[in-house]
Homo-oligomer: A and B are copies of this chain.
């Protein structure tokens, strides 16, 4: 469906929130409260992010999570890599070899690989620090393949579908 999973969306939400104070230690419970998500869910996401070294964790009494690197160094592609369990790619036979029987003489596979890399570059061009701001200048423009010629200030009618907060409240910032 060309959508990221809800968990991944939560991940960006959480990381973006944390990027407000990059040095600070956030507890899972605090984040859940601040973002209006369930604690178990937030916990799950954070654990996974920790496993992929996007956040580092501190156990015990005053423990919690901190961004493992400055928010400018965490891209959307990183978050997707961490939270989606299939390898990156729009089609299955383009993300792993040996899956498809006609792989050898498939003429479209090669093109899918290329499309994949274009999309990936687009996602790599956006980092968590960018997400904190309400879409300023043009953090994305650089996506190499697709030049943003012809779309100036006008907001694109792009649609999307993935995950948002159902009955969430973003009291925001501090927990």
Which residues of chain A have a CB within 8 Å of any CB of chain B? Answer: 1-6, 9, 12-13, 16, 36, 76, 80, 84-96, 99-103, 105-123, 125-126, 130-135, 139-141, 143-151, 154-170, 172
Contacts and interface: CB of A to CB of B under 8 A. Distances in A.
Interface of A is mostly: loop
A88 B2 contact: yes
Contact of A91 (B4, B86, B119, B168): B4
Given A12-B108, A100-B168, A111-B139, 7 more contacts: A1-B5, A101-B168, A107-B132, A115-B126, A116-B156, A121-B148, A140-B146
Given A108-B131, A161-B89, A164-B92, A145 B151 contact: no
A-B pairs with the 7 shortest C-beta distances? A89-B160, A93-B164, A1-B160, A92-B162, A91-B162, A100-B164, A94-B160
B141 A94 contact: no
A102 B160 contact: no
A133 B112 CA distance: 12
A173 to B, nearest CB: 11
Given A107-B131, A125-B145, A150-B157, A94 B1 contact: no
Contacts of A159: 1, 87-89, 94-96, 116, 154
5 contacts: A4-B91, A96-B161, A117-B156, A143-B149, A147-B150
Contact of A102 (B88, B101, B113, B169): B169
A96 B140 CA distance: 22
B158 A88 contact: yes
A132 B111 CA distance: 9
